[in-house]
Amino acid sequence: MPTESYLNTSPVIGDRVYLHASSQVIGDVTVGDDSSVWCNTVLRGDVNRIAIGRGTNIQDLTMGHVSHKTAEKPDGSPLIIGDYVTVGHSVVLHGCSIGNECLIGIGSIILDDVVVPDRVMIGAGSLVAPGKLLESGMLYIGRPAKAVRALTEAELTHLRYSAEHYMRLKDNYLNNSNS
C-alpha cells in the first residue's frame, strides 16, 4: 500500500478504498470509506492534517497539501474534502476546505483557507485565491475564479453521479486485484 508515516502520524484508510500503487499518502491523512486515490497523486499530511470523506475520488496527478500551525494561526490550514467529491486530474488543493458533492475541474488550483461549500462546480483550470468563501450551487470559472451562474438541475445531479461513477470504477480495480 502506498502509505507512509511521518513522525508520530500514519494514514488511516477506510473500508473499500482504492489507492493506486503510484499514489503517495503520507502522514496525518484520513481517507473515508469507498474513496479512491488515483495514479501519481500525492496527499502529504506532514505539517497538518488531511481528511477526505466517503465516496470521494482524487484523480491522477493531484497534489494535496497543508499549511503548518503557527502562533498567529494555531490551526494552520488543514485540507478537508467532503463526501462524494470529484477532484479532477492535475488539481492542486492546498490547505482549503471542500464541501460535499463538489466537482473540482482538471488543472484547478485552490489555495489556503478557501471554503468551497456543498454542491459547487469549479471549471477546469480555475484558480481560487486564498481565503475566498464561495457560494453553494454555483459554477466558478477563471483565474481568478468568479461565479458565472447557478448550476442547473442536471449539473447538480451530475455532481453525485460523477462520484458514484468513480466508486464503481474503483470497485472494478479492487475486484480485479483480488482475483
**Residue 146: beta bridge partners?**
141
Residues in the chain: 179
pLDDT score of 123: 98
Find out whether 20 and 1 touch, Cβ atoms under 8 Å. no
- How high is the mean pLDDT of the chain? 97
Is residue 69 over pLDDT 80? yes
73 pLDDT band, cuts 50/70/90, is very high
Is residue 174 over pLDDT 70? yes
* Chain centroid, CA 95 distance in Å: 11
pLDDT tens digits, residue range 2-33? Answer: 999 999 999 999 999 999 999 999 999 999 99
Find out whether 60 and 133 touch, Cβ atoms under 8 Å. no
pLDDT score of 177: 77
pLDDT score of 67: 97
Which CATH number is 35's domain given? 2.160.10.10
Report the percentage of the chain scoring pLDDT > 90.
Answer: 97
Residue 74 domain boundaries: 3-177
Q: What pTM, to 2 d.p., does this model score?
A: 0.96
What is the rounded average pLDDT of the residues 54-75? 97
pLDDT tens digits, residue range 96-152? Answer: 999 999 999 999 999 999 999 999 999 999 999 999 999 999 999 999 999 999 999
The full DSSP string for 91-113 is: -EEES-EE-SS-EE-TT-EE-TT
Please state the φ and ψ torsions of residue 92, each to the nearest 5 degrees: -115, 120
Q: Domain tally for the chain?
A: 1
